[in-house]
Amino acid sequence: MPPAEPEEESIAALFARLIDHAERFVRAELKLYRATLFDRLTGARTAVISLLTAFLLAQSAIIALLVGLIVILRQPLGAVGATATVVGSALVVAAVLVQFALVKLRKATEIEDKK
């Protein structure tokens, strides 16, 4: 008895199988990218929490410094004078930093004309 010849599939059936395999491949790739994304987000979450904690600690240190300056300057300037001096100085520093940031932001977002 001769071996049975495999049935030849039609071109439509082959394309249907190709589309099915391509769909499964795309779904598997999407699952891989999703898993990679969530893995990276987990690592990024830890980094963001660490940066936020560092920012809050630095902010607390700056507040403690400003309060300390008020306490130190209270003797020669009085309570109101020391407070006004420290707050005024802090506002001047903040204004300079805002100006610096705005200049950098304008440069970063500037659209250059091609000539």
In sequence order, the 6+-apart residues with CB closer than 8 A to the CB of 79 are 70
What pLDDT shows up at residue 57?
Answer: 96
What pLDDT shows up at residue 4?
Answer: 46
30-43 mean pLDDT: 89
CA distances from 111 to 38, 92, 98 (A): 35, 31, 22
Q: pLDDT for 79-93, tens place per residue?
A: 999 999 999 999 999
Residue 2 has pLDDT above 60, yes or no: no
pTM for the model: 0.54
13-38 mean pLDDT: 92
Q: In this structure, is the dihedral angle defined by the CA atoms of residues 7, 12, 13 and 15, taken in order, positive or negative? A: positive
